[in-house]
Amino acid sequence: MTKQVALILSGCGVYDGSEIYETTLTMLRLDQLGIVYECFAPDIDQHHVINHSTGEEMDETRNVLVESARLARGKARPLDELSVDDFDALILPGGFGAAKNLSNFAVKGADLEVVEGLRAAVQPFHEEGKPIGVMCIAPVMVPQLLGQGISVTVGSDASVAGAISAQGGLHKSCEVTDIVIDAANRVITTPAYMLAERISEAAEGIFKLVDRIDGWITDDQAREADKQN
């Protein structure tokens, strides 16, 4: 059976959008496993635009969906078109877009709110028990998106871990090459570039995350096939 995974992006570029290496590594591993994927992003203006050469804010406006399409080779759809019925699992790569465009964590800290439409897109996957993968800084949104008491990791960053705990989440420290699995909630997280110093380090954890999601989808499809027989 075909496996299909949705990716939610937040722009293009580590400082103001989705982390490019994290997203590309996710796409690569999905493709290597023969999993079809599709990208979605909110059709909104970015929080701001960062010059990635200097780290300085630029006096211009960019659209999150348009920028995400850069990363998806033109194939990105508006977030409100994402339907849980069309996919077996969901993955949210990191990058500061998660903290600036998908949420306002960069401004509000533990009092963050997620962007309109994100919870409505993500919660149905959790309600139906479909696997959800989250990486880098994006796990800080998990308590707002999925509820309290879910184990996640951002690696070892004390301030972000504290924000997760303050929202009722459970943070577990983790090496960059590993993953944290909350089997009861079917949520998998990995630190990626919260800790990675080399792309190969990020790849190891991200590949483990995607591999585990692949395994869960296989199990789900096998159970569904048994029901139909």
Q: Is 174 a catalytic residue?
A: no
| Cα separation, 129 vs 34, whole angstroms | 22
Which pLDDT score is estimated for 229? Answer: 78
- The 3-state DSSP class for residue 145 equals helix
Residue 150 corresponds to which tokens in the numbers above? 């879910």
Which pLDDT score is estimated for 96? Answer: 97
The rounded mean pLDDT for the chain is 97
pTM more than 0.95: yes
Question: Under a CB-based contact definition with an 8 Å cutoff, are residues 189 and 139 in contact?
Answer: yes
Which pLDDT score is estimated for 203? Answer: 98
| Cα separation, 80 vs 86, whole angstroms | 13
The yes-or-no verdict on residue 227 having pLDDT over 90 is: no
Q: 12, 39, 136, 174: which is the annotated catalytic residue?
A: 136
pLDDT in tens, 12-40: 999 999 999 999 999 999 999 999 999 99
| Cα separation, 189 vs 135, whole angstroms | 5
